[in-house]
Amino acid sequence: MKLTDAQLDTLRKAFRLSPRETQMIGLIFEGFTENAELAREMNLTVGSTQALLNHIYAKTRLSDRTKLVLLCLDTLSPLY
């Protein structure tokens, strides 16, 4: 599932993410699941990729990608 720029901007603002952190969330939603894949796509080392993920986890107070995706979906869902 590819997120729109508006959706990514909503997530960036909601969690105070950097542009690179926002880009990483976008790639996770596109199906990049392995750190090595993310590193290649973002032109980072695997260690830098893990550090970036850890920053995202700290900002969202989560500990894994599944919970991160669920929180993002919940944040993007319309309020009833």
Domain range annotation of the chain: 5-76
Kindly report, residue by residue over 32-60, the tens digit of the pLDDT: 989 999 999 999 999 999 999 999 999 99
**CATH annotation of 5-76:** 1.10.10
pLDDT at residue 79 is higher than 60: no
pLDDT on residue 80: 38
pLDDT at residue 66 is higher than 60: yes
pTM: 0.89
6: which residues sit within 8 A by CB, 6+ positions away? Answer: none
Q: Taking the CA of residue 40 as centre, how many other CA atoms within 13 Å lie in the half-sphere pointing to its CB?
A: 5
45: which residues sit within 8 A by CB, 6+ positions away? Answer: 39
Helix residue ranges per DSSP H, the chain = 5-15, 19-30, 35-42, 46-60, 65-76
**Residue closest to 21 by CA, chosen among 63, 49, 43, 2:** 49
